[in-house]
């Protein structure tokens, strides 16, 4: 156990991070339950397998990541992060409870899902950069890459549990109960933060108030070539390849004609690869820019195989590759960017990272939904694969053109 604590699980020595991880695991299970339930609700109960409607939901849910960028990063750099997180987590819990009640009562309409996706996405846009930078306050810079990877492991472990449970709940008691349980699960995070040892938090340097905070963050990123290249790669992959719920749901419903249980199982199977990628990242001492090239190319291979899969289980196997590559890429960009920047700039730079990755999903989801409707879900996966390979080429170009980047990155 001692070797494990000094290696893969070393950041769990922090009382606050250990408590946070336990609460986040419960909440993440609920989040994955709602993702499956909401997709199933839109595709099978509120529409007739309309991928475009699902794309609109995804777009509304992630568009605030881009639209609110001028404020979210500055809030993360300037406000008390623990209090801000408690506010955003409570807000997202209330929105989930409201949608769950509407669904259980049988009065939910598509516009309800649209509106609550937008509201929840707005709270999540404020939550995401704070949640990512708050990890450094819990564990410090030395254990930051490990803590980022273990955070992802927690999210992925929940991905193995939540969708399968959601599939069972949908089949047995209905979609609304899976969404209601997600609303209640946010209480676990709120309780964990209420019991933090505040004296053990490593409060980062706070930025001074300024109306040009967002522009300052943009200038800061633009001056560093590896940060610029990372954001370009995130834009490509986020826009066309990170829409996994759309890919899995349209393939499951339209191509393989799955029931709710087999639909939920696909996401759980993908988590097998994702958790492998997260644990691999947890063992790495320092992130490397070159890892982005490999993971982006592997993601392209996985999406290609998924798009060509002749049957359900072949598709599930390809999702394992997709999950491992996506998690490796995501964790590497997170750790690489946080360790490359000044502590006072972390909130704004991480808001840019999240905004481009998830905001890209908002831009790409309607396009991919249209492709899935008119050309078939396999073609939308093909488009994702092309974007992944282009992102890998960006990394190759940077590494070949600017060899000094290897020395500049951590």
Buried b (16+ CB within 10 A) or exposed e, 338-372: bbbbebebbbbbbbbbbbbbbbbbbbbbbbbbebb
- pLDDT band at 407, cuts 50/70/90? very low
Cβ-contact 39, 249 below 8 angstroms: yes
- Average pLDDT of the residues in 387-394: 91
Q: What is the pLDDT of residues 337-356, one digit of tens each?
A: 777 777 667 777 777 777 78
Looking at residue 48, its pLDDT comes to 83
Neighbours of 252 (CB within 10 A): 26
Q: What is the pLDDT of residues 217-234, one digit of tens each?
A: 677 777 777 778 888 888
Q: What is the pLDDT of residues 239-295, one digit of tens each?
A: 888 888 788 888 888 888 887 778 778 877 887 787 777 666 666 666 677 778 888
Distance CA 35, CA 38 (A): 5
Q: Find the distance separating the first CA and the last CA of the chain, reported in whole Å.
A: 29
Domain map of the chain by residue range? 8-408
- Measured over the CA atoms of residue 132, residue 14, residue 268 and residue 109, the dihedral's sign is negative
pLDDT score of 372 more than 90: no
Looking at residue 182, its pLDDT comes to 94
- Average pLDDT of the residues in 137-149: 76
- pLDDT band at 36, cuts 50/70/90? confident
Alpha-carbon Rg for the chain, nearest whole angstrom, is 20
Counted residue by residue, the chain has a size of: 410
Looking at residue 286, its pLDDT comes to 65
Distance CA 214, CA 47 (A): 40
DSSP state of 256: S
Fold of 8-408: Growth Hormone; Chain: A; (1.20.1250)
Looking at residue 2, its pLDDT comes to 46
Distance CA 58, CA 249 (A): 12
- Measured over the CA atoms of residue 29, residue 31, residue 36 and residue 37, the dihedral's sign is positive
The count of C-alpha atoms lying within 13 angstroms of the C-alpha of 339, restricted to the half-sphere facing its C-beta, is: 23
């Amino acid at each position: 156990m001692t070797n494990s604590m000094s290696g893969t699980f070393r950041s769990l020595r922090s009382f606050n991070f250990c408590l946070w991880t336990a609460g986040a695991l419960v909440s993440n299970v609920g989040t994955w339950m709602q993702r499956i339930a909401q997709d199933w609700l839109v595709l099978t109960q509120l529409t007739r397998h309309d991928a475009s409607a699902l794309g609109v939901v995804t777009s509304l849910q992630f568009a605030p990541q881009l639209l609110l960028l001028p404020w979210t990063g500055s809030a993360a750099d300037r406000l008390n992060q623990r209090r801000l997180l408690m506010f955003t987590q409570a807000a997202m819990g209330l929105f989930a409870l409201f949608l769950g009640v509407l669904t259980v009562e049988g009065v939910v309409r598509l516009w309800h899902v649209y509106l609550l996706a937008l509201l929840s996405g707005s709270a999540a846009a404020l939550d995401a950069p704070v949640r990512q930078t708050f990890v450094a306050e819990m564990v410090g810079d030395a254990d930051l890459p490990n803590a980022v990877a273990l955070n992802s492991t927690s999210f992925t472990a929940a991905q193995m549990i939540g969708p399968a449970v959601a599939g069972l709940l949908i089949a047995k008691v209905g979609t609304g109960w899976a969404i209601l349980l997600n609303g209640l699960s946010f209480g676990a995070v709120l309780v964990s933060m209420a019991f933090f040892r505040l004296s053990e938090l490593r409060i980062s340097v706070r930025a001074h108030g300024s109306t040009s905070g967002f522009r300052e963050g943009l200038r800061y990123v633009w001056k560093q070539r590896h940060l610029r290249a990372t954001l370009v790669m995130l834009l490509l992959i986020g826009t066309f390849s990170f829409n996994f719920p759309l890919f899995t749901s349209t393939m499951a419903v339209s191509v393989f004609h799955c029931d709710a249980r087999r639909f939920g199982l696909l996401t759980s199977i993908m988590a097998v690869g994702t958790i492998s990628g997260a644990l691999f990242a947890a063992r790495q001492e320092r992130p490397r820019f070159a890892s982005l090239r490999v993971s982006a190319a592997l993601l392209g291979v996985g999406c290609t195989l998924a798009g060509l899969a002749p049957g359900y289980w072949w598709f599930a196997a390809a999702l394992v590759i997709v999950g491992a590559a996506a998690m490796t890429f995501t964790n590497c960009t997170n750790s690489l960017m946080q360790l490359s920047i000044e502590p006072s700039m972390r909130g704004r730079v991480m808001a840019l990272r999240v905004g481009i990755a998830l905001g890209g999903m908002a831009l790409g989801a309607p396009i991919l939904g249209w492709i899935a409707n008119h050309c078939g879900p396999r073609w939308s996966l093909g488009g994702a694969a092309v974007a992944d390979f282009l992102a890998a080429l960006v990394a190759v170009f940077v590494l070949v053109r600017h060899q000094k980047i290897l020395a500049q990155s951590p």
